[in-house]
Amino acid sequence: MNPVLLTGATGFIGRNLQTSLLNAETGVIAVVRPSSGHPDALEPGVEKRICDLGDSRQLISAIKQSRAVIYCAGSVRGRTLDDFRPANIDGVRSVVDAINQAGHNTPLLLISSLAASRPHVSDYANSKHLGEQEVIAHATFPWTIFRPPAVYGPGDKEMLPILKLARKGLIAPPGPVDQKLSLIHVQDVASAVLAWLDQPEKCLGKTFTLDDGHEGGYNWEEIAQACKKGRHYRLNIPHWILFGAGSINLFLSRLLGYAPMMTPGKARELTQPDWLCNNTALNQATGWSPEITLEQGVDSLFRESGD
């Protein structure tokens, strides 16, 4: 069977996808940009194609050798919408155009984000929404969009510091006191991708959310308890500190020329009353169910990181 073409293979989710695909005896062609900071983050056996997402000639050639395309590249840091464009919008459009031109009806799975459901919240959220629109408006082949909520697991750098603090008995939720969040372990994202790959025809032209099955999401007390049973000292971060830190970081990033994670847009994302979703529709379409509870997920994370 032909391999799968994977973009974003060197990232947190992409690395876990590589492993799961290989374990399922599915070959992987990883499209890695020439300027990648992690060109060696590929598992043995993964075929590397050094190629910009705008390089249609190379993309078309790789797509013609692939049974499906999984688009997992993404920009999660930036000051303006333009900073998020290359991977979240323009890259999606280039890959859509390349699949159209390859003419093999190759199915595409776009890893978007739950953030795409609220494009007004931040430039990141808007870029994910606009990326989805590129697929919906221009794909002439079978496509599916996944919108995961916050993903955690081996290799993640965003959730881990919060979970580690909770493990030590301190919970410092950036959002409102009664905030509710859906979560999913990265290996469950990967198993959902495999379920899609088995029968992409069952998911044609649809957008699916996916979570770990914990109905109604988690509040911060539940997240803390999954990390360590018992009492936690709670440090509520006032929103003005988050927005202030975002504004200062935005200013410094302009001055020093780095891509910021914490911005006023990120502060708006963090302070939403909820980010909730479920996996009912995906389960009905493919039979896929998540297998890793938050308690199991953080437990294995702490064991792997020696905490």
Ligand X SMILES: NC(=O)c1ccc[n+]([C@@H]2O[C@H](COP(=O)([O-])OP(=O)(O)OC[C@H]3O[C@@H](n4cnc5c(N)ncnc54)[C@H](OP(=O)(O)O)[C@@H]3O)[C@@H](O)[C@H]2O)c1
Task: Return the range that interacts with ligand X (CB under 6 A); candidates 74-82, 207-215, 253-261, 279-287.
Answer: 74-82
CB of 157 to ligand X, least distance (A): 8
86 binds ligand X per the rule CB under 6 A: yes
Q: Is 260 in the site for ligand X (CB under 6 A)?
A: no
**Which x/- pattern, by CB under 6 A, does the window 98-137 give for ligand X?**
-------------x-x--------------x---------
Residue 91 main-chain phi, psi, to 5 deg: -65, -40
Nearer CB in complex with ligand X: 51/102: 51
- Please report, for residues 4, 50, 91, 188, 278, the alpha-carbon distance to residue 31 in angstroms, rounded to integers and kept in the order given: 11, 6, 12, 23, 30
Binding mask 32-71 for ligand X (x = CB under 6 A): -x--xxx--------------x------------------
SS3 (DSSP) at 74: coil
Contact 15, 41 (CB under 8 A): yes
Q: Report the distance separating Cα 70 and Cα 4, nearest Å.
A: 7
- Which 3-22 residues touch ligand X, going by CB under 6 A? 7-14
Residue keyed to tokens 């905490």? 307
Q: Roughly how many angstroms between the first and final C-alpha of the chain, as a whole number?
A: 41
Is the Cβ of residue 30 or residue 242 nearer to ligand X in the bound state?
30
| CB of residue 84 to ligand X, shortest distance in Å | 9
Q: Residue 93 CB: number of other CB atoms within 10 A?
A: 19
Query: Residue 54 and residue 60: Cα distance in Å, rounded?
Result: 11
The DSSP symbol for 203 reads G
Q: Which of 74, 153, 173, 290 binds ligand X (CB under 6 A)?
A: 74
Residue from 98, 150, 242, 267 that binds ligand X (CB under 6 A)?
Answer: 150
Q: Provide the binding-site residues for ligand X, judged by CB under 6 A.
A: 7-14, 33, 36-38, 53, 72-76, 86-87, 91, 111, 113, 128, 148, 150-151
